[in-house]
Amino acid sequence: MAKFFINRPIVAMVLSILMTLIGLVAMVGLPIAQFPNIVPPEIKVNATYTGADALTVEQAVSTPIE
C-alpha cells in the first residue's frame, strides 16, 4: 500500500487535501456552546430524628451523611 502512494504522489496529496477539507467542514458544522447547559449531579436525602433538637440532628445525622 505504501508503494502505491510512493508511485502516485498526486493521489496521496489529493487524499490529504480532501481529508483536511472534510475535517474543516465538519468542525465548522459542529454546535459549540461557550457555556453549555450542564446539570450537576444532585442527591436528595430526607432524614428524620424524632424528638431531637436542630443541633443534635446536625451532629448525629447531617454531618455523617455528608
The count of structural domains within the chain is: 1
**Are the CB atoms for 48 and 36 separated by under 8 Å?**
no
Whether residue 9 lies inside any domain: the answer is yes
Whether residue 48 lies inside any domain: the answer is no
Task: Please give the model's pTM, rounded to 2 decimal places.
Answer: 0.46
Cell of 60: 448525629
Whether residue 8 lies inside any domain: the answer is yes
Whether residue 55 lies inside any domain: the answer is no
Query: For 57, what's the count of Cα atoms within 13 Å in the CB-facing half-sphere?
Result: 9
Whether residue 4 lies inside any domain: the answer is yes
Give residue 19's domain range. Answer: 1-31
pLDDT score of 66: 63
pLDDT score of 10: 95
Whether residue 1 lies inside any domain: the answer is yes
Spell out the SS3 assignment of 4-65.
HHHHCHHHHHHHHHHHHHHHHHHHHHCCCCCCCCCCCCCCCCCCCCCCCCHHHHHHHHHHHH
Per-residue pLDDT tens for 21-65? 999 999 888 888 788 888 888 888 887 888 888 888 888 877 777
Whether residue 61 lies inside any domain: the answer is no
